[in-house]
């Protein structure tokens, strides 16, 4: 059996993610009727859509059997895949960061920064992160009683944090924000490089290449600088690091900066904006966490589940195998539907409700296994600190208009969250 075409369309359609409900409904239908099945859509190679929490974990924990690098690590069209392979000497990915690597390289490259991202190291940063959070909250208070929480706070705060840890000076932050939005938002006319709907493969790849070129020009200069003048920042770790006893390859080093500079804030921004949206719509939950601030860590966890900003990653089977009674063949391509795993009725009670005290909350928003999000502790710390500073001052919040979401099937979330609030 294959997935009905209209359902499969919603799984890939960037507009279904902007709509929110449409993609939720498609995943709900799939979990109930075809939890592990094949999507056959014009323009795409067939791929399995994995919608159950248990199956996502089962695949993610078997990193030798399900690879990231053999085919594109994100969903792509046949035409785009062909063009990328032409450009990259037969390889299916334009970048080669951790998410486009398998062992043994993955382990070697991950080891380079793993310790840096551990809670022990991050504790040193917490005071500075708190200072940054307070700065944004003061700016929000200065706005009076209304703001667009997505644009005014949620997009800027994680950007500032990750740029500071990476070593990018504040003056370059607007450029980094623009380039990140261009990279993740190629399907969204409001943020992509062309500033309009772009359907064709040529034009889309041209935009992506130009954006990556700009990133690389920037980070090349940074590598040179950190080799001459090493600092305490993450850029210095990448610029001066060694893998197999050699400096990182050029593509690998550039990809490392780019993943940190992009995955490091858009995801956290989407989650933070989504949390405010949920609090504004659920006054009882707002009250609950305000009355008991010790609930903040569990509220942060719930907002990560609720928003699930990374909508998928792809895996490729390295051998014939079986998952949940279905026969998967070598070279089959699998779409891990994280938002679906995080609404799985078999795991989450009342999954469509935002509950600040949800426990347990074993969401899959950070993935699982060898590729589990490297920045998860940083993301949690940043969000906890923001809410610890903001909630005691925020007396009330409600929506001041209709929020909107970005149009993208890879990383997406709220684009605007207009709120009316009272603060002291």
Query: Which residues here bind ligand HEM, judged by CB under 6 A?
Result: 60, 98-99, 110, 162, 259-260, 263-264, 267-268, 271, 304, 309-310, 313, 338, 365-369, 371-375, 378-379
Query: Measured from the CB of residue 291, what is the shortest distance to ligand HEM in angstroms?
Result: 25
For residues 272 and 375, what is the distance between their CA atoms, to the nearest angstrom? 15
CB 347 within 8 A of CB 363: no
Structure tokens at 352: 């469509």
For residues 161 and 385, what is the distance between their CA atoms, to the nearest angstrom? 12
Query: Measured from the CB of residue 313, what is the shortest distance to ligand HEM in angstroms?
Result: 5
For residues 167 and 313, what is the distance between their CA atoms, to the nearest angstrom? 28
Q: Which is nearer to ligand HEM, 129 or 198 (CB)?
A: 129
3-state DSSP assignment of residue 69:
coil
CB 320 within 8 A of CB 329: yes
For residues 361 and 305, what is the distance between their CA atoms, to the nearest angstrom? 8
Q: How far is C-alpha 369 from the chain's CA centre?
A: 16
CB 320 within 8 A of CB 327: yes
Query: Measured from the CB of residue 181, what is the shortest distance to ligand HEM in angstroms?
Result: 16
CB 77 within 8 A of CB 44: yes
Q: Which is nearer to ligand HEM, 106 or 201 (CB)?
A: 106
> DSSP per residue over 269-300, as a string?
HHHHHHHHHHHHH-HHHHHHHHH-GGGHHHHH
**Residue 249: DSSP 8-state:** P
Q: Which is nearer to ligand HEM, 80 or 271 (CB)?
A: 271
**Residue 354: DSSP 8-state:** -
Peptide bond connecting 360 to the previous residue in cis, omega within 30 degrees of 0:
yes
For residues 120 and 114, what is the distance between their CA atoms, to the nearest angstrom? 11
Strand partners, 423: 394
CB 235 within 8 A of CB 257: yes
Helix 173-184 × helix 156-166 angle, to 10°: 110
Query: Measured from the CB of residue 314, what is the shortest distance to ligand HEM in angstroms?
Result: 10
Q: How far is C-alpha 422 from the chain's CA centre?
A: 31
Q: Which is nearer to ligand HEM, 201 or 264 (CB)?
A: 264
Query: Measured from the CB of residue 101, what is the shortest distance to ligand HEM in angstroms?
Result: 7
Query: Measured from the CB of residue 110, what is the shortest distance to ligand HEM in angstroms?
Result: 5
Q: Which is nearer to ligand HEM, 181 or 268 (CB)?
A: 268
Q: Which is nearer to ligand HEM, 304 or 317 (CB)?
A: 304
Query: Measured from the CB of residue 384, what is the shortest distance to ligand HEM in angstroms?
Result: 12
Q: Which is nearer to ligand HEM, 99 or 191 (CB)?
A: 99
For residues 80 and 82, what is the distance between their CA atoms, to the nearest angstrom? 5
Q: Which is nearer to ligand HEM, 379 or 390 (CB)?
A: 379
For residues 356 and 74, what is the distance between their CA atoms, to the nearest angstrom? 31
Query: Measured from the CB of residue 367, what is the shortest distance to ligand HEM in angstroms?
Result: 2
CB 119 within 8 A of CB 377: yes
CB 137 within 8 A of CB 262: no
Residue 49 phi, psi (nearest 5): -105, 120
Q: Which is nearer to ligand HEM, 198 or 279 (CB)?
A: 279
**Residue 2: DSSP 8-state:** B
Q: Which is nearer to ligand HEM, 48 or 198 (CB)?
A: 48
Q: Which is nearer to ligand HEM, 159 or 394 (CB)?
A: 159
Query: Measured from the CB of residue 339, what is the shortest distance to ligand HEM in angstroms?
Result: 11
Query: Measured from the CB of residue 380, what is the shortest distance to ligand HEM in angstroms?
Result: 8
Query: Measured from the CB of residue 58, what is the shortest distance to ligand HEM in angstroms?
Result: 13
């Amino acid at each position: 059996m294959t997935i009905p075409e209209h359902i499969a369309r919603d799984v890939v359609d960037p507009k279904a993610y902007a709509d929110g409900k449409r993609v939720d409904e498609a995943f709900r239908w799939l979990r109930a009727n075809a939890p592990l099945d094949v999507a056959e859509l014009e323009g795409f190679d067939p791929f399995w859509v994995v919608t159950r929490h248990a199956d996502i974990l089962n695949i993610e924990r078997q990193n030798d059997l399900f690879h990231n690098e053999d085919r594109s690590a994100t969903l792509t069209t046949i035409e785009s895949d062909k063009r990328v392979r032409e450009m990259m000497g037969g390889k299916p990915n334009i970048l080669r960061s951790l998410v486009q690597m398998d062992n043994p390289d993955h382990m070697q490259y991950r080891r380079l920064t793993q310790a840096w991202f551990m809670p022990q190291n991050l504790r040193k940063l917490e005071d500075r992160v708190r200072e940054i959070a307070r700065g944004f909250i003061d700016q929000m208070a200065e706005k009076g009683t209304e703001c667009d929480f997505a644009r005014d706070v949620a997009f800027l705060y994680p950007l500032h944090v990750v740029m500071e840890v990476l070593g990018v000076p504040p003056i370059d932050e607007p450029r980094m924000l623009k380039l990140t939005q261009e990279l993740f938002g190629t399907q969204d006319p409001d943020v992509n490089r062309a500033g309009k709907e772009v359907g064709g493969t040529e034009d889309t790849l041209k935009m992506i290449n130009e954006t990556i070129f700009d990133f690389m020009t920037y980070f090349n200069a940074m590598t040179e600088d950190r080799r001459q003048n090493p600092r305490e920042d993450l850029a210095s770790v990448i610029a001066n690091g060694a893998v197999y006893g050699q400096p990182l390859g050029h593509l690998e080093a550039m990809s490392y900066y780019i993943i940190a500079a992009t995955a490091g804030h858009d995801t956290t921004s989407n989650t933070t904006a989504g949390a405010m949206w949920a609090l504004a719509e659920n006054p009882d939950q707002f009250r609950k966490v305000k009355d008991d601030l010790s609930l903040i860590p569990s509220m942060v966890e719930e907002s990560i589940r609720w928003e699930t900003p990374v909508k998928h990653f792809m895996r490729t089977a390295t051998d014939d195998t079986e998952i949940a009674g279905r026969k998967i063949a070598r070279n089959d391509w699998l779409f891990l539907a994280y938002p679906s795993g995080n609404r799985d009725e078999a795991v989450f009670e009342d999954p469509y409700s935002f509950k600040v005290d949800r426990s347990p909350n074993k969401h899959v928003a950070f993935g699982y296994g060898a590729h589990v999000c490297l920045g998860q502790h940083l993301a949690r710390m940043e969000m906890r600190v923001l809410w610890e500073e903001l909630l005691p001052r925020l007396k009330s919040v409600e929506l001041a208009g209709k929020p909107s979401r970005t149009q993208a099937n890879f990383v997406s979330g709220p684009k605007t969250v207009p709120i009316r609030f009272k603060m002291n």
